[in-house]
Structure 1
Amino acid sequence: MRAIGTMRADFVQSDRNGRQVRGVLTLKRPGKIRFQYEKGVPMLIVADGSALTFVDYEVRQVQRWPIKNSPLGALLDPNRDVMKYGKLMPTGNRQIVSIEVRDKAHPEYGVITLVFIRKPGAPGGLELSSWASLDSQNTRTVVSLSNQQYGVSVPDSTFRYNDPRRPVRR
């Protein structure tokens, strides 16, 4: 993961009930990510380097928490050492590398299983193809990536969002 400076990819996000949403993922290290969902999906997930923000435009709600306190911390938190918290999982296929990441001291952060495919042209020779996360509420989400592009130009403004909450009147 540290070999990736920037990445853009298409994603399909699936929940436990089989519902799927699509969009474009943009990643910039350290700690920045944006899940721009397809038209008609009124939500956005964005991390600005320190906090992960979930924006629901339909109900005008914004939730923020430190990156390190979510399963995505394994991908985004520059201070999280995947070698310390990760465990190589058997896949039965030499071309696929699977790593389960969990912080045993903080089970509330959830667990994420990262799946890489060996690919010579990818940073570090491994292409992130998907992950499955299980959060502290036992909600399972699978994100599958395709059309990964590395080293793309990504301005920091990509990781900002429009706050849907009404301004407070004084």
Structure 2
Amino acid sequence: MFNTRPAVIATIAALSVAAVPSPIAAQATGDLAAVQKHLQSVTTMTADFSQADRNGKVLTGVLTLKKPGKLRFQYEKGVPILIVAEGGALTFIDYSVKQVQRWPIKNSPLGVLLDPSRDITRYAKLVPGYDNRVVSVEANDPKHPEYGRITLVFARDAAAPGGLMLQGWVALDSQNNRTTIRLSKQKFGGPVSDNTFRWNDPRRTR
């Protein structure tokens, strides 16, 4: 998604939920419902993020989310890149070369985070793991593999929306470029102005 190829948050085995014994399958159904509840409960979120590629390069910044459909990745000072979602489109701005790229949010793996009306149980599956404190969910549209896929990673937290705290995600686009995001200092439900998602177009001349 960001033209980067980060390392993976953790090794996740892509096993089908349908293949596990029924008690575990029942737990999987409950966990998937909890993820749905979390996604529907979150109206706004701010968090620090770090983005690491497979070469070990790390970029940091601040993530701001407002539903429906608004997102901003503000990178650290000195990084001439901005990513904003608004108006149904995800926009990638590179100020160093005055380049702007836009594509529909629904065509991005991040669409799962931005549309609270979507039924995640129809296009996502739980990824079994060895740590019961962690819930991982892989989402993709099998009819549109070109949209890529995203694996959301949550930690169980009774104080968080839906009892889950979003820790980050791994996104894989149609070119197999992998983007890994880790979150910290997550805050939910605070006021977020729509002005947060405005941006300056570098292609405009004065």
Equivalent position of 2:164 in the other structure: 126
- Partner of 1:147, secondary structure, is strand
Distance 1:26 1:122 in 2: 17
1:69-109 alpha-carbon deviations (Å, 9 max, x no partner): 01111212345322111010012111110000010000000
Amino acid aligned to 2:120: V
Quick check: 1:47 aligned with 2:78? no
Quick check: 1:139 aligned with 2:177? yes
1:112-157 alpha-carbon deviations (Å, 9 max, x no partner): 0000111111111111001000001110010000000111110011
> What is the deviation of 1:40?
0.4
* Structure with greater Cα Rg: 2
- 2:133 pairs, out of 95, 100, 103, with 95
Amino acid aligned to 2:59: V
Superposed structure 1 runs of 4+ greater than 4 Å apart: none
Equivalent position of 1:59 in the other structure: 97
1:7-54 alpha-carbon deviations (Å, 9 max, x no partner): 100000112322210000001111111000000000000101411000
Structure 2 unmatched ranges of 5 or more:
1-38
Which has the larger share of helix? 2
Amino acid aligned to 2:74: Q
Distance 2:117 2:174 in 1: 21
Which has the larger share of strand? 1
Quick check: 1:38 aligned with 2:76? yes
Distance 1:73 1:79 in 2: 11
- Partner of 2:122, secondary structure, is helix
Quick check: 1:4 aligned with 2:42? yes
Quick check: 1:165 aligned with 2:203? yes
Aligned residues: 168
Equivalent position of 1:152 in the other structure: 190
Equivalent position of 1:82 in the other structure: 120
